[in-house]
Structure 1
Amino acid sequence: MRLDLEHLEYVYPHGHRALDGVDLTLEGDRPVALIGQNGAGKTTLAKHLNGILRPTNGRILIDGVDLATADTAQWARKVGYVFQNPDDQLFLDSVRKEFEFGPRQLGFDQDLIGRRMEQVAGLVGLADRLDDHPFDLSPTEKKFCAIGSVLMMDTGAVVFDEPTCGQDKAGNDRLAAIIARLRDQGRLCITISHDMKFVTRNFPRVVLMQHGRVLLDGSREEVFAREDVLKQAYVTPPPITRVARQVGLEGPVFTVSAFVDAARRAKAGAGI
């Protein structure tokens, strides 16, 4: 899967320029996080990837095909989008029906839907809730119901909009497992997030946006080493990364084990 955004611009009807000439390529199976303060253009950009929004100028190519020449069904087969608020996405009277709806629209046969149902329901933790109404689920379960309904369509790319919002540690761990599964299946995961701990633990590539433009695009190590640009974009690194920087440890540090290793190297280098 390859997504090319070329000179992408988007101006909302009230005149706000949300995207201002974005050039970006997203490809392969390496998970990528879009970060930046509110209003940076992350969600506006993501909603262009499957045709929810149409560019004011520029274009989007999916595997070389201009989205302007494709119909909605073609978009839906290529890129799935999970909204931040599951109430904006769920509309049927059982989890099972939510899971079945997308693949049925895409022409999947019932045997394939059944096999995918078993796999996806287990992955999102709803195998025992398939016959429950989505609005009887907890907020966390509703979010995973929305995720499951998109995963059912087996798209080459999946976009998550703030998936950790309202999640506890167990929910974040399940999200991490889903992202890893998508990578193992060769599918592209694009995630909008303000949770820098979650970003640094799960996304090897990070794109930093501000005012509708891309400020940085690189590995998490490269992006979080640019303290000056992060500060300009009002993005705060994870606490352990900030502590490591304050005590003078080399390179961005994202985990406790990495902190300990960096401290040992610093100690050995100092001859202590």
Structure 2
Amino acid sequence: MSNKKQVAVSFLGTVLDSGFGQGRWQKWRPNVAMNQRQDFHLDRMELFYAEKYRELADHVKADIQQVSPHTAVNLVPMELENPWDFSEVYTKLHDWAAGYTFDTEEETYLTHITTGTHVAQICLFLLVESRQIPGVLLQTAPPKNQRRSMEDGNVGSYEIIDLDLARYDVLAERLAAVRDDAVRYLKSGISTQNAAFNRMIAEIEQVALNSPSPILLSGPTGAGKSMLARRIFELKKARHLIKGTFVDVNCATLRGDGAASALFGHKKGAFTGAAEKREGYLKTADGGVLFLD
């Protein structure tokens, strides 16, 4: 059995952990309950909280130390303007992890993903998966009959999830299969041993499915740029990344003053010959893919 200290990283549950009266002991409070277990102990908790919930955080800390005197609780300020904003939450948690001194030789880290918003839980998962927070995930759950069970000493269940375990190889294989299917689709089902071509297609697949950025396809006439562009569009459409249409524009036809009108559209009467309002190619392709050939 490991002699390492166990450290939990967790968000204060502003609803789940709430309760100030004596009745709170008949309520399942995840951050308190995990310290009430006889088969599980923590040496330290890093508990994220917002300043407006400081009273609750202090109360939860006191209750944890009442049921588990050997557990140190560090209250970690985590101010989030919008706890449902993925970018903000991930950035704040990433910065905390980057500045935290992890001692994996002496300590084991359990990242609790039961409390906090779903966005916070996802961000914690990603930080553990990428090893920016070393260790495992901790998931806790309440007993079925909460009040009666708490009175009988049943404080719910818990599960430790190790993202490095081999059982996740099946998931990795399925994700790899999805990626391989996308690559085969971009290659139009044509199998080739050309390493440079295969590498190019793999890079296109990675960019096309993970970034909204424009893609530049270069090559001589007849190389298949138009077909590949349409395949990229169809692949993005199939993955629900876009909802618009595919607009193929032959740039050789864009000449003089008509180029701006063709691309951006014009109102009726905007210039001589503009008898009707016209949507430009960019408007037509909005939400989809504009291929400028």
Fold shared by both chains (TM-score > 0.5) = no
Taking structure 2 as the reference length, the TM-score comes to: 0.28
Larger-Rg structure: 2
Taking structure 1 as the reference length, the TM-score comes to: 0.30
Structure of greater relative contact order (alpha carbons < 8 Å, 6+ residues apart) = 1
